[in-house]
Amino acid sequence: RKEVEQDPGPFNVPEGATVAFNCTYSNSASQSFFWYRQDCRKEPKLLMSVYSSGNEDGRFTAQLNRASQYISLLIRDSKLSDSATYLCVVNAGSARQLTFGSGTQLTVLP
Amino acid sequence: EAGVTQSPTHLIKTRGQQATLRCSPISGHTSVYWYQQALGLGLQFLLWYDEGEERNRGNFPPRFSGRQFPNYSSELNVNALELEDSALYLCASSFLPVYEQYFGPGTRLTVT
C-alpha cells in the first residue's frame, strides 16, 4: 500500500464548479499535512497547510480526519487558473521527510 | 524576499559522468531538502540537510550525495550517472520547527 494515495483523475470541470479531492495516508504517526499545487514542468507550490480541524483560505477548504487517516481539498467557484496537479503531502514525525501523493490532475474548462 | 534558487536550470551529461547541482535556501531557512521527480512520476525524497549535517536520506544509492555549507546553501552530487537519473531535481527549504517546505524551480538533468 502506498503511504499517500490520491485519485489521479483527471478531473475536468467547468468554470464555477465545485470540486473535491481526497487523499488517504497510511502512517498513523503522521503529524503534518499539506496541499501543494504543481503546474506542468514547474515546482510544487504550497497551497495550504492542513491542521487539526481543517482550515479555509478563500475558495479553498481543507479537512483532516485523523481517525480515518483522510484529507480532503474542496475548491469552490473554480477558475481557469486552478488547472494544475494537486499534491497531497504528509510529514511523518521527526524524520521531517515529506511524502508526496502522486497527484490529482484538474482541468477547469471555459 | 527571494525564494529558493537553484542552478543550473538545465544540465546535460553523458552516462558515467558526474553532475553537481546547487541550491540556495530562503534567507533564514536552515533546512534544505532534495527531491527527484522523473518524467510522469511523483516526487521522491533524496536528502535532508540541516545545520550542515545530513539528517535523513531516501532510498537512493550512495552515488547520490551532497553537503550543506555554513551559509546553508547546498550541493547535490550524482556520480557515475545513469540514463535513469534523467529527471527534475528539486530543492526545498524550511525553517525549523515549521514544517512547510518551499521549493525552488528545479534543475532538469538529462543523461545521454
pLDDT tens-digit profile of B83-95? Answer: 999 999 999 999 8
CB contact under 8 Å between B101 and A43, yes or no, is no
User: CA-based diameter of chain A, in Å?
Assistant: 44
Nearest chain B residue to A44 by CA distance is B103
Q: Is the pLDDT of residue A1 over 80?
A: no
Q: Which residue has the higher pLDDT, B98 or A90?
A: A90
Q: Residue B66 has what pLDDT?
A: 96
For the CA atoms of A96, A100, A101, A107, the dihedral, rounded to the nearest 10 degrees, stands at 140
CB–CB of A43 and B105 under 8 A? yes
pLDDT for residue B39: 84
Residues from chain A contacting residue B102 (CB–CB below 8 Å): 46
> How far apart are alpha carbons B47 and B27 in whole angstroms?
20
- With H, G, I as helix, E, B as strand and everything else as coil, classify residue B99: coil
Find out whether A33 and A85 touch, Cβ atoms under 8 Å.
Answer: no
Which positions of chain B have pLDDT values less than 70? 1, 97-98
Closest-CA distance, B81 to chain A, in angstroms, reads 22
Write the pLDDT tens digit of every residue in A37-63.
Answer: 999 889 999 999 998 778 999 999 999
